[in-house]
């Protein structure tokens, strides 16, 4: 990869989120309305423990503890910003939008109104080896959210 | 620049490896420091394999025609070359496998099945905390299936085996001791002779993973005193300038004869009747089916090449480059080397951490400067956990590595620090 590619991958926004992650750390949550998952990227060993707390169909909190590269850490921080306070349906739609961007091999034009800082990951989509880094916490979030929704139905 | 101990014909050696001439994206020259992952291939290995496919290709040991005879001869000549490379007491003790993992799995599986060496309940298997996953998982599977107990040597803070409890670990219940000769993560060279003596004294067999040792240490099994010679030694072809898809299990005839067959099929039999079969002697007993023929022949050319350069000279070269690299790496602010810092007692793989930058990000920035290293857990998660790290960056040299490539690495690491604004 060239120096230009490198700058496309490591946008300032990504490096900022990496150095100053939003919402990091596991927080207490009502066990009836929350779920915790642990996801691992077996090829590189990056790990995230992520807890989702839902209340009245809204994502009340996403808290996480993670180790990994700048891309995986920044994407967890952006995830926190984008889904907390949204309804589960809205958050799932944002998840789908981010997934589409990351799986687009660099051909998808990101919508800043939906993805906000997440648009900085458009450059990552061109590096197949790093896409899984960006998706680690997002996949963990979807898994945990689905567990809460399935587990306590209308209570959530 | 010239360092004491470098291969005198280094420029000529480098010309033998065509890939070293290529440039990468952005016109960057390649600085290949990932040889512990896989080594590059000299022209003679490439040519030998192409020549075989172009002129001699046929199945071995069964085709009754000229090509079949030529192919068989080349395949068996490769076995002779590998036997010479490791100083095997007998050429038939060299078994071709797919890779080192298959070689280790062959041993760990057959030990569970039958024979006087069979591992069962109450028996113990001893490994170490610095093993590659391929020398951990097969033994976990073996002990789980048989009810035996898996034990292991811990590590000292310097990254050496902690031998303080060796007499408790290796005891009359020990059936197998399996360990790496050279660590793929820490670079540590382990005292194989001492551990083998202890294991043999209690009647245990010793399995050595030589995947990192075979490329850089001269090995002469026949010259080792019998009580210090391991019983089984595994290594892979692609780390000794050979192709992928071919590995080696050397075993003493006595132990190989005691193990039951591994895979059943063509070539491994003496005779087959519907009621039952009898098996070929070694090495064919463990080589069921059509083997990777051209890969074995390529491996023969590879170890021949290393033999011509001389393993003593290659070892000296690796030590010189390793010492130079240890010095250069430690000049980088915030960099910590994991493993022994004394080049004389370690191999050419150096794993390190850089404060404030994750290994994957380091490797990515290095790649933009043409410097190829490995980042991650290097298939040695327990060894990383022992040092409280999740992953590391690893540079690894080989006989074609030049001091200026180490300079390029150090410079690229400084660039990484500035890229991530660490000062």
Find the residue in A nearest to B362 (Cα). A69
Give the CA diameter of chain B.
75
- What is the enclosing helix (H) or strand (E) of B174? strand B174-180
B131 flagged as catalytic: no
Q: pLDDT digit string (tens) for A119-147?
A: 999 999 988 889 999 999 999 999 999 99
User: CA of B127: how far to CAs of B143, B174, B178, B243, B351, in Å?
Assistant: 12, 11, 5, 28, 21
Chain-chain contact of A47 with B381 (C-beta, under 8 angstroms) = no
Give the CA angle between residues B324, B326, B328 to the nearest 5°.
70
Determine the pLDDT at residue B150. 98
Q: Does B377 touch chain A (CB under 8 A)?
A: yes
Give domain status of residue B38, yes or no. no
Residue B359: give the domain boundaries.
10-32+311-419
Name the DSSP class of B186. Answer: T
The fraction of chain B above a pLDDT of 90, given in percent, is 95
Provide the pairing of β-strand B371-372 with B31-32: parallel
Chain-chain contact of B368 with A5 (C-beta, under 8 angstroms) = yes
Distance from CA of A34 to the nearest CA of B (A): 28
Tokens of B136: 């951990």
Give domain status of residue B4, yes or no. no
- Same structural domain for residues B364 and B325? yes
Closest CA to B44 of B234, B248, B245, B309: B309
Give domain status of residue B240, yes or no. yes
- Same structural domain for residues B161 and B111? yes
Chain-chain contact of A15 with B421 (C-beta, under 8 angstroms) = yes
**CATH number of the domain bearing residue B327:** 3.90.1150.10
- Same structural domain for residues B286 and B319? no
- Same structural domain for residues B224 and B82? yes
* Distance between CA atoms of residues B296 and B243, nearest Å: 8
Compute the mean pLDDT over every residue in chain B, rounded to the nearest whole number: 96
Active-site option among B77, B84, B269, B379: B379
Q: Is the preceding peptide bond at B283 cis, omega within 30 degrees of 0?
A: yes
- Same structural domain for residues B53 and B196? yes
Q: Does A65 touch chain B (CB under 8 A)?
A: no
Q: Does B360 touch chain A (CB under 8 A)?
A: yes
Determine the pLDDT at residue A152. 59
Q: Which residue has the higher pLDDT, B111 or B266?
A: B111
Taking only Cα atoms into account, the Rg of chain B, rounded to an integer number of angstroms, comes to 22
Place of tokens 């503890």: A65
Residue finishing a domain among B284, B308, B332: B308
Give domain status of residue B366, yes or no. yes
List beta partners, residue A55.
Answer: A58
Give domain status of residue B3, yes or no. no
Residue finishing a domain among B248, B276, B308: B308
Determine the pLDDT at residue B1. 60
Q: pLDDT digit string (tens) for A92-107?
A: 999 999 999 999 988 8
Q: pLDDT digit string (tens) for B289-304?
A: 999 999 999 999 999 9
Chain B residues with beta carbon closer than 8 angstroms to that of A68: 358, 360, 390
Q: Which of B27, B364, B387 is the mutation pick for testing A, counting most A CBs within 10 A?
A: B364
Mean pLDDT for the stretch of residues B314-329: 97
Q: Is the dihedral of CA A70, A72, A73, A79 positive or negative?
A: positive
**CATH number of the domain bearing residue B230:** 3.40.640.10
Beta strands in B196-279, from DSSP E residues, in sequence order: 205-209, 232-236, 247-251, 269-273, 276-279
Give domain status of residue B187, yes or no. yes
Give domain status of residue B384, yes or no. yes
Determine the pLDDT at residue A128. 86
- Same structural domain for residues B161 and B304? yes
Q: pLDDT digit string (tens) for B2-17?
A: 799 999 999 999 999 9
- Same structural domain for residues B211 and B321? no
- Same structural domain for residues B263 and B399? no
Determine the pLDDT at residue B154. 98
Q: pLDDT digit string (tens) for B63-110?
A: 789 999 999 999 999 999 999 999 999 999 999 999 999 999 999 999
Determine the pLDDT at residue B62. 79
Determine the pLDDT at residue A80. 97
Q: pLDDT digit string (tens) for B362-378?
A: 999 999 999 999 999 99
- Same structural domain for residues B238 and B259? yes
* Distance between CA atoms of residues B227 and B275, nearest Å: 41
* Distance between CA atoms of residues B211 and B182, nearest Å: 8
- Same structural domain for residues B278 and B320? no
Find the residue in B nearest to A130 (Cα). B360
Distance from CA of A94 to the nearest CA of B (A): 27
Please name the member of B361, B376, B419 whose beta carbon is closest to the beta carbon of A45.
B376
Provide the pairing of β-strand B205-209 with B232-236: parallel
Determine the pLDDT at residue A155. 45
* Distance between CA atoms of residues B172 and A69, nearest Å: 46
Q: Does A128 touch chain B (CB under 8 A)?
A: no
Please name the member of B368, B390, B420 whose beta carbon is closest to the beta carbon of A67.
B390
Can you give the residue ranges of every domain in chain A? 3-151
Residue B415: pLDDT above 80? Answer: yes
Provide the pairing of β-strand B247-251 with B94-97: antiparallel
* Distance between CA atoms of residues B282 and B268, nearest Å: 9
Residue A150: pLDDT above 60? Answer: yes
Place of tokens 């809205």: A90
Mean pLDDT for the stretch of residues B224-252: 98
Name the DSSP class of B52. Answer: I
Determine the pLDDT at residue A43. 79
* Distance between CA atoms of residues B251 and B248, nearest Å: 10
Determine the pLDDT at residue A154. 45
Chain A residues with beta carbon closer than 8 angstroms to that of B367: 1
- Same structural domain for residues B284 and B399? no
Residue finishing a domain among B308, B333, B366: B308
Distance from CA of A10 to the nearest CA of B (A): 9
Q: Does A80 touch chain B (CB under 8 A)?
A: no
Determine the pLDDT at residue A42. 83
Chain A residues with beta carbon closer than 8 angstroms to that of B361: 10, 69-71
Q: Does A91 touch chain B (CB under 8 A)?
A: no
Determine the pLDDT at residue A1. 76
CATH for A3-151 is 3.90.1010.10
Domain count, chain B: 2
- Same structural domain for residues B299 and B328? no
Q: Does A14 touch chain B (CB under 8 A)?
A: no
Provide the pairing of β-strand A58-67 with A47-55: antiparallel
Give domain status of residue B97, yes or no. yes
- Residue A122: φ, ψ to 5°: -55, -35
Compute the mean pLDDT over every residue in chain A, rounded to the nearest whole number: 91
């Amino acid at each position: 990869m060239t120096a230009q590619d490198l700058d496309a991958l490591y946008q300032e926004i990504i490096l900022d989120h990496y150095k100053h992650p939003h919402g990091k750390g596991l927080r207490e949550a009502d066990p009836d309305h929350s779920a915790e998952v642990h996801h691992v990227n077996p090829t590189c060993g990056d790990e995230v423990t992520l807890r989702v707390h839902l209340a009245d169909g809204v994502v009340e909190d996403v808290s996480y503890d993670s180790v990994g590269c700048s891309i995986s850490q920044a994407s967890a921080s952006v995830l926190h910003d984008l889904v907390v306070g949204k309804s589960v349906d809205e958050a799932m739609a944002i998840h789908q939008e981010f997934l589409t961007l990351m799986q687009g091999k660099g051909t998808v034009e990101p919508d800043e109104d939906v993805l906000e800082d997440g648009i900085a990951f458009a450059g990552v989509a061109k590096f197949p080896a790093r896409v899984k880094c960006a998706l680690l916490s997002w996949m963990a979030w979807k898994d945990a959210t689905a567990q809460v929704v399935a587990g306590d139905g209308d209570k959530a | 620049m010239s360092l004491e101990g470098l291969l005198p014909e280094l420029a000529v050696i480098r010309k033998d490896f065509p890939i070293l001439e290529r440039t990468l994206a952005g016109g960057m020259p390649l600085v290949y420091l990932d040889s512990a992952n896989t080594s590059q291939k000299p022209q003679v290995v490439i040519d030998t394999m192409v020549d075989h496919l172009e002129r001699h290709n046929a199945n071995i040991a069964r085709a009754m025609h000229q090509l079949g005879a030529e192919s068989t001869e080349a395949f068996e000549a490769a076995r002779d070359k590998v036997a010479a490379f490791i100083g095997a007491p007998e050429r038939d003790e060299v078994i071709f496998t797919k890779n080192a993992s298959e070689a280790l799995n062959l041993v760990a599986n057959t030990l569970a099945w039958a024979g006087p060496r069979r591992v069962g309940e109450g028996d113990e298997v001893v490994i170490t905390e610095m093993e590659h996953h391929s020398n951990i998982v097969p033994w976990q599977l073996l002990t789980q299936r048989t009810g035996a107990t898996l034990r292991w040597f811990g590590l000292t803070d310097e990254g050496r085996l902690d031998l303080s409890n060796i007499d408790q670990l290796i005891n009359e219940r020990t059936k197998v001791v399996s360990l790496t000769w050279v660590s793929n993560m820490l670079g540590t060279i382990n005292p194989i002779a001492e551990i083998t003596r202890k294991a043999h004294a209690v009647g245990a067999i010793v399995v050595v993973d030589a995947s990192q040792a075979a490329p850089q240490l001269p090995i002469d099994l026949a010259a080792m005193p019998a009580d210090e010679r391991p019983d089984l030694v595994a290594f892979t072809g692609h780390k000794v300038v050979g192709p992928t898809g071919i590995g080696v299990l050397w075993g003493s005839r006595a132990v190989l004869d005691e193990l039951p067959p591994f895979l059943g099929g063509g070539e491994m039999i003496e005779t087959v009747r519907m009621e039952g079969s009898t098996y070929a002697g070694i090495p064919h007993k463990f080589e069921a089916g059509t083997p990777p023929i051209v890969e074995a022949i390529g491996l023969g050319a590879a170890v021949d090449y290393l033999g011509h350069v001389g393993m003593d000279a290659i070892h000296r070269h690796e030590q010189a480059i390793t010492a130079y690299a240890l010095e250069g790496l430690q000049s980088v602010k915030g960099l910590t080397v994991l493993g022994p810092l004394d080049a004389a007692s370690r191999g050419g793989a150096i794993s390190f951490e850089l404060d404030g930058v994750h290994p994957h990000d380091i490797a990515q920035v290095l790649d933009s400067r043409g410097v190829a290293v490995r980042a991650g857990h290097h298939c040695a998660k327990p060894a990383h956990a022992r040092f409280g790290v999740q992953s590391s960056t690893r540079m690894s040299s080989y006989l074609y590595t030049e001091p200026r490539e180490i300079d390029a690495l150090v410079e690229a690491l400084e660039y990484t620090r500035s890229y991530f604004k660490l000062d």
